[in-house]
């Protein structure tokens, strides 16, 4: 692999980046002293491109470089992109810290949000392959006493996996970054999240609708712990991370607010000010969104999963099977998408200051993993980052 410098290193790009940074500094000038001030990056965005990426079937290096050009900007402070399959492309752009302008770290750890659900689904499907979980078995069978008498129809493990359980959302410390920020150091346990959901009763008959939400996978995390007699985090380590060599992936201990190891700081616009939101207690997200990882680790996971090295057949088919309900988009954790005319399966996720995604064609002719430090990750920023970073990865 050779390192190349493309349009993103031109003097025009450097000037544009500096102007964006200067504009953000001006926008923040009227803010509180605690708000971080933007600085221009110490070096321009860079990308590493393999020789095969220049072929007809390789990634569109020019479009990918253009997607990273100009970072940091109002919407994204840093981005890490890995494209693989028939040819590969690596890109890193933006800043590690807006106060210093230090360049973004290409090996940075980040909050992967709901990409966690794919790890959770893989563990459940492994347990099913081992005969320890029946996908058609009921939640009451594995977690007796969890559901009240209001749940007259059984909810199966498969319905949790494909978001058709009928459970309502659970407790939350804030549905937006603005509301949650004052509570970011508080702890809300998964048990409290689920208890609040159960207290609200069922939303609809299980297996009749698909409603995406964290609650399905929060329950699955509890189910994994019950069946194995072990913590969810340790099961992820021994079943997924260690076998695949994902040395930089982990789940924070309950109440731990930090990202340990090298990382790019996360920010969000709150009341017109750019606020550092890196430190945050994610205990309530648990098996639905608590993962900390790197793009290299997630690429290993994605490729290993699609090649059948993580979940064996026939259980792996659950991930690529949509339930027979109206407007279904998800199998077990994975979402089916059509991107530039290609069928793609993947999962995105976001936490304050961070948005991430994994995606691939089923034959692995094209894979994508990215992390973006979005300043509106829990709002429109997640979709904006996907359009900016994912679409170019699949445009040829």
pLDDT tens readout for residues 181-212: 999 999 999 999 999 999 999 999 999 999 99
pLDDT of residue 48: 38
CATH 3.40.50.720 fits 113-288+306-336, yes or no: no
pLDDT of residue 340: 86
Does 42 have pLDDT greater than 50? no
pLDDT of residue 55: 55
pLDDT of residue 395: 87
Helix, strand, or coil here: 110?
A: strand
Q: What is the mean pLDDT of residues 63-85?
A: 96
Does 380 have pLDDT greater than 80? yes
Does 278 have pLDDT greater than 50? yes
pLDDT of residue 265: 98
Closest to 79 (Cα-Cα) out of 394, 368, 378: 368
What are the structure tokens assigned to 167, written together? 């459970």
User: What is the percentage of the chain residues whose pLDDT exceeds 90?
Assistant: 83
pLDDT of residue 38: 54
Could you read off the pLDDT of 86-142 as tens digits, one per residue?
999 999 999 999 999 999 999 999 999 999 999 999 999 999 999 999 999 999 999
pLDDT of residue 58: 82
User: Distance of CA 391 to CAs 60, 92, 396, Å?
Assistant: 11, 17, 10
pLDDT of residue 8: 36
What residues have CB less than 8 Å from 109, skipping those under 6 apart?
248, 259, 260, 261, 262, 263, 292, 293, 294
pLDDT of residue 7: 35
**Is 114 annotated as catalytic?**
yes
Catalytic position from the list 8, 88, 114, 293: 114
pLDDT of residue 56: 61
DSSP 128: H
What are the structure tokens assigned to 292, written together? 């900390």
Contact at 8 Å (CB) between 348 and 357?
A: yes
Could you read off the pLDDT of 307-334 as tens digits, one per residue?
999 999 999 999 999 999 999 999 999 9
Compute the mean pLDDT over every residue in the chain, rounded to the nearest whole number: 89
pLDDT of residue 32: 37
Contact at 8 Å (CB) between 320 and 334?
A: yes
Q: What is the mean pLDDT of residues 156-178?
A: 97
pLDDT of residue 93: 96
Numbers of helices and strands, H then E, in the chain: 13, 12
Does 282 have pLDDT greater than 60? yes
What are the structure tokens assigned to 346, written together? 């993947």
Residue 296 vs residue 3, higher pLDDT:
296
Separation of alpha carbons 114 and 128, rounded Å: 22
pLDDT of residue 28: 36
Contact at 8 Å (CB) between 316 and 368?
A: no
Closest to 264 (Cα-Cα) out of 78, 15, 12, 81: 78
* Residue whose entry in the numeric block shows the structure tokens 């994902």: 246
pLDDT-derived band at 229 (thresholds 50, 70, 90) equals: very high
**CA 196 to chain CA centroid, nearest Å:** 25
Could you read off the pLDDT of 324-361 as tens digits, one per residue?
999 999 999 999 999 888 999 999 999 999 999 999 99
pLDDT-derived band at 39 (thresholds 50, 70, 90) equals: low
User: What is the percentage of the chain residues whose pLDDT exceeds 70?
Assistant: 86
Torsion, Cα of 193, 354, 388, 103 (10° steps): -170
Does 13 have pLDDT greater than 70? no
Helix, strand, or coil here: 188?
A: coil
Please state the domain extents for the chain. 2-108, 113-288+306-336
End-to-end CA gap in the chain:
21
């Amino acid at each position: 692999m050779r390192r190349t410098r493309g349009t993103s290193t031109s003097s025009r790009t450097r000037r544009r980046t500096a102007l964006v940074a200067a504009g953000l500094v001006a926008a923040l000038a009227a803010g509180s002293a605690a708000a971080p001030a933007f600085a221009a990056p110490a070096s321009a965005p860079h990308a590493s491109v393999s020789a095969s990426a220049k072929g007809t079937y390789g990634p569109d290096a020019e479009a990918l470089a253009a997607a990273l050009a100009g970072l940091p900007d109002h919407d994204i402070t840093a981005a890490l992109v890995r494209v693989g399959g028939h040819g590969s492309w690596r890109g890193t752009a933006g800043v590690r810290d807006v106060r210093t302008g230090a360049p973004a770290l290409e090996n940075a750890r980040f909050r992967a949000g709901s990409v966690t659900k794919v790890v959770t689904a893989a563990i459940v499907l492994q347990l099913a392959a081992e005969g320890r979980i029946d996908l058609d078995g009921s939640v009451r069978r594995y977690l007796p006493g969890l559901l009240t008498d209001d749940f007259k129809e059984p909810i199966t493990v498969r319905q949790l996996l494909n978001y058709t359980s009928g459970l309502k959302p659970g407790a939350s410390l804030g549905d937006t970054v603005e509301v949650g920020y004052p509570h970011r150091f508080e702890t809300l346990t998964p048990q409290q999240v689920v208890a609040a959901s159960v207290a609200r009763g069922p939303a609809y008959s299980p297996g009749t609708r698909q409603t995406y939400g964290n609650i399905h996978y929060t329950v699955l995390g509890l189910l994994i712990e019950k069946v194995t007699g072990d913590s969810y985090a340790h099961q992820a380590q021994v079943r997924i991370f260690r076998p695949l060599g994902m040395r930089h992936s982990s789940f924070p201990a309950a109440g731990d607010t930090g990202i340990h190891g090298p990382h790019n700081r996360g920010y969000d616009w709150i009341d017109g000010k750019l606020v550092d939101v890196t430190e945050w207690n994610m205990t309530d997200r648990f098996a639905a969104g608590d993962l900390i990882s790197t793009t290299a680790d997630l690429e290993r996971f994605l490729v290993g999963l699609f090649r059948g090295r993580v979940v064996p057949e026939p259980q792996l088919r659950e991930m690529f099977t949509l339930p027979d309900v109206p407007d279904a988009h998800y199998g077990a954790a994975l979402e089916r998408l059509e991107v530039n005319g290609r069928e793609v399966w993947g999962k995105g996720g976001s936490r304050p200051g961070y948005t991430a995604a994994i995606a691939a064609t089923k034959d692995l002719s094209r894979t994508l993993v990215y992390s973006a430090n979005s300043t509106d990750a829990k709002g429109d920023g997640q979709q904006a980052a996907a359009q900016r970073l994912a679409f170019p990865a699949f445009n040829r």
